[in-house]
Chain A
Amino acid sequence: MPIVEFQAGTLRLAGFSRSLLVERLGGLPIRFDPRDGGFRCDAMWFGEVSRRLAPELPGGDTIRWQVEPPRKRPLSASFSDRRTIRLRDDQRRAVADFEAGDRRGLLVLPTGTGKTVIAIELILRHADSVLVVVPVRDLMYQWHEKIRQATGLDAGLIGDGVYRVSPISVTTYDSAAIHMPRIGNRFSMIVFDEVHHLSGSWRSDAARMSIATTRLGLTATLPSSPERLAVLEQCVGPVLHHQTIQEAAGRTLADYTVRRIAVKLTEAEERSYRQLSAVVQNFVYDQRQIDESFRWEDVHKLVAAASEDPERATEARAAVQAFRAKRKIEEHAEGKLRVLEDLFRLHADAPVIVFTGSNVMARKVSLRFMVPCLLSHCAKKERREYLEGFAAGRYPVLVANRVLDEGVDLPEVKTAIVLGGLSSGRQAIQRLGRVLRKSNDADATFYEVVVEGTSEVERSRARRRNDAYRKPS
């Protein structure tokens, strides 16, 4: 009897004649597996395979399907819609576009337009098993809470040392890639939040090893490389809906102002900074004498090649140390704490969020101003306490590192401060997005505190060229 079974993230088809498979499943990437005499393909083709094998087989053979684990009762019975909010028109359009696109594809929406609201709507309409895949652990807990509020269900968690699989579960990209061989047949819908994280070859296994036929990818920014976009289109589906930040601003988002504050290094900092810069510059100059095409990024190869050329490696290591020390001076410049002090004074009556470029700086700010910081070591309960306490006004300030990046829901806030950091365009968009959340139509202010005359200023300029920073007219 022919059989189709889920096996460690793949579908195994055994007992079929080759000619039948060619006739029915031609064009799908299915391979013969000599190790067990069956045929095999990625689990993601389950929808296509079951559709094409549905018509009666020649000779009246029936297929034994051992793909999805048997379920005691239909899941839809345990769903209830407990939401209090209604979808806006633009959100309803995104939902309609997804459904018109055969429930497989990408929705591109700026941060702050309620991606989660749209996803929850689609999950409720799906009314069956769902796995939500998110970039970081904070978001995992946040989704867990959102699902509880919307459906009353206590969703499973897979990641952060927890392995609790339920028909509705939330996981991170890395945990999904690790565990999918075991859980890939448990969910008929899969949601990728911040779907651009999926395009790497290891992480895309999370999509390939799942049998889910309903596939939703959410993002504010599609990857710019065509190869990476192609991976998303294959593993999730085509772009079904695209809303730009300009369309969103003003209508669903608050207006905002960007203020850049440059701080000067202290004399001592300046002196060390110059010395360290000289070390780096001299090193680069020397290397260019040896090899014209030398670029600073090549330094790590020289450090690593310690056994081949120990002397050059030692110089390279000194240069790297100087470079790091330089960055550290920028990152920890005393002046930044001074500016922070003034900004806290200025906004003493309103909640302020501070973003730092490192955990060390986040802890430094936290200790100096005695305000909570959200870091990766915080457990679920502690994070929630800070987030809720901040929202309720019990804490005046919240400090966060990039851990919070990419759309972790922060309470509504009008003032945010970014300290240095090595932001790329995408990070900038998403950081900004959180400040932009609709807050009584009041103007939001976004401060950038950078060190004058250092590379941080250059990075800030590059950042503001991004269209996320252009004030909408």
Chain B
Amino acid sequence: MLRSEHAIIAYDFATMTARPDRLLRSRDRAYQAALADCVTLYRQGTGSRRQDLHAAVAERLERLPGCPPRRIAAFCKLLDDASQFKNPGQAAASLRRRFFTAAAPLHPIVSTREGIFEHELGAARQEISKQLGMPWEEIEAELFSDVIELQRLESFRETLGAGDVLARYNVAQTQAALYRASQIRVTAFADFRTIIAHAKLARLMHHIDRIEGPRRGYRFRFDGPGSVLRTTTRYGVGFAKLLASLLHCRDWTLAADLVGPGGRRFTLAISDRDGLQPGAAAETGFDSDLEREVQAVWDARPVADWTLERETELIACGQTVMTPDFALRHRDGRVIHVEVVGFWTPEYLAEKTRRLAAFRRQTCHEWLLLFPKKQVKAAEDIARAVDLPYRLFTKRSDPADWINAINKSPAS
């Protein structure tokens, strides 16, 4: 990610909209070529100092007409992010201590000796070299080699090409614009659970509205605890993190309120059709294996008039949200929430039980718990504790039996 001082945002005062800097493969073809050179500079630059690499990148990019300094600094940051620099750390610090200690008795070191207690510069350097057992040139090169701008490049991510740098740049600039956002609104028609889970990871608060038609979806408003007290950009980094996850999702639009020049409010619009490329896959950590099995069982023997939808219902209780693993939806509008209970620890099960008990009061819909066959004992305990119907399932189960379970008393 970039730092906020790298952000380039165009503000349109007529429409009060904001547009983060964006480079296009076709229009900005010259950048592709220049960035290829910069990537080569880094690839072949092992051993070069950071400040020299940055100067070389700047020299190359300055040749492009209309390339502002911030853009250059941003590319340096992105290239650095794909690099490993050598930090000698303690070695440089210990060289300094030895150096200054050895030189202390020679103070003052003068260019031309006058008094008898003075030491001439050349002689002093020789003396120190001898004491430290290092040539002067090496002392000079190593003395401050831990300073960030003087660190030397050790390696550069080999797989990274000019096109990747360009793609990363566009995402990073959009994220950097979000650092100035006070609130974002996301309208989504898929992947709700991913969105809400990553909003939680980014420590954001939400407000959720359901969209009934023509397509079913949700409208999310994200900000943070302090947002109700004043307009604040302190959750901007959280929005930027959430955007990185959103890029992996389908069918969404995002509108952000940016605090622009003079504290005025500008809108930034982003959507899944903007062609911003997602980075490395975001980790989710859901029990998708079991869910995949349930889906396979249903697909093998679907029940007439019913559809099985994955994670399409959000049930919000204040700031806690539950996304049942599946919704069984009938043509007439009836819905059965389906939770697949997999297994880790007793703590996990206790938490699951507590949540189910809390959430079943929030909705008028029916609930069904599905357990893998081998979990008979836990299935009975949990279903009794939360007073919900349940079924054990195997690959040969008949889904019609799941729907029948709703019409019977629990645990029958």
A150 to chain B, nearest CB (A): 29
A323 to chain B, nearest CB (A): 14
- Assess the A35–B207 pair: CB atoms within 8 A: yes
> Which of B106, B144, B203 has the most chain A CB within a 10 Å cutoff?
B144
Map CB proximity to B onto A27-45 as digits: 1 under 8 Å, 0 otherwise.
Answer: 0010111111100111000
How far does the alpha carbon of A84 sit from the alpha carbon of B124 in the complex, in Å? 43
- Assess the A202–B234 pair: CB atoms within 8 A: yes
A370 in contact (CB, < 8 A): yes
- Assess the A306–B67 pair: CB atoms within 8 A: yes
- Assess the B66–A310 pair: CB atoms within 8 A: yes
How far does the alpha carbon of A305 sit from the alpha carbon of B144 in the complex, in Å? 36
B144: nearest chain-A partner, CB-CB: A363
User: Of B107, B234, B319, which contacts A396 at CB under 8 A?
Assistant: B107
- Assess the B68–A313 pair: CB atoms within 8 A: yes
- Which residues of chain A have C-beta atoms less than 8 A from B110's C-beta? 341, 344-345
- Which residues of chain A have C-beta atoms less than 8 A from B124's C-beta? 370
B224 in contact (CB, < 8 A): yes
- Which residues of chain A have C-beta atoms less than 8 A from B206's C-beta? 35
- Assess the A382–B104 pair: CB atoms within 8 A: no
Interface-lining segment among B92-100, B299-307, B372-380: B92-100
A295 in contact (CB, < 8 A): no
- Assess the B229–A42 pair: CB atoms within 8 A: yes
A237 to chain B, nearest CB (A): 20
How far does the alpha carbon of A313 sit from the alpha carbon of B96 in the complex, in Å? 43
Map CB proximity to B onto A391-402 as digits: 1 under 8 Å, 0 otherwise.
Answer: 000111100000
CB contact under 8 A between A382 and B225, given known A306-B68, A345-B108, A348-B117: no
Interface-lining segment among A3-11, A121-129, A132-140, A185-193: A3-11
User: Total interface residues on B, using CB and 8 Å?
Assistant: 49
CB contact under 8 A between A396 and B104, given known A202-B234, A345-B115: yes
How far does the alpha carbon of A102 sit from the alpha carbon of B346 in the complex, in Å? 51
- Assess the B70–A29 pair: CB atoms within 8 A: no
> Which of A209, A303, A363, A372 has the most chain B CB within a 10 Å cutoff?
A372
- Assess the B107–A371 pair: CB atoms within 8 A: yes
- Which residues of chain B have C-beta atoms less than 8 A from A359's C-beta? 147
B372 to chain A, nearest CB (A): 35
- Which residues of chain B have C-beta atoms less than 8 A from A394's C-beta? 101, 104
Is chain A's binding surface mostly helix, strand, loop or mixed? mixed
A346 to chain B, nearest CB (A): 9
A14 to chain B, nearest CB (A): 9
- Assess the A306–B66 pair: CB atoms within 8 A: yes
B90: nearest chain-A partner, CB-CB: A379
- Which residues of chain B have C-beta atoms less than 8 A from A306's C-beta? 66-68, 71
> Which of B99, B207, B225 has the most chain A CB within a 10 Å cutoff?
B225
Interface residues of B in 130-161 (CB under 8 A from A): 140, 143-144, 146-148
B47 in contact (CB, < 8 A): no
- Assess the A31–B228 pair: CB atoms within 8 A: yes
A381: nearest chain-B partner, CB-CB: B93
A75 in contact (CB, < 8 A): no
How far does the alpha carbon of A33 sit from the alpha carbon of B232 in the complex, in Å? 16
B128 in contact (CB, < 8 A): yes
A377 in contact (CB, < 8 A): yes
B318 in contact (CB, < 8 A): yes
A240 in contact (CB, < 8 A): no
How far does the alpha carbon of A132 sit from the alpha carbon of B121 in the complex, in Å? 45
Map CB proximity to A onto B6-30 as digits: 1 under 8 Å, 0 otherwise.
Answer: 0010000000000000000000000
- Assess the B225–A8 pair: CB atoms within 8 A: yes
How far does the alpha carbon of A341 sit from the alpha carbon of B207 in the complex, in Å? 67
Residues of B in contact with A (beta carbons under 8 Å apart):
8, 62, 65-71, 93, 96-97, 99-101, 103-104, 106-111, 114-115, 117-118, 121, 124, 128, 140, 143-144, 146-148, 203, 205-207, 224-226, 228-229, 232, 234, 318-319
Question: Known pairs A36-B319, A341-B108, A381-B93. 5 more at Cβ < 8 A?
Answer: A8-B203, A31-B228, A41-B229, A306-B66, A363-B144
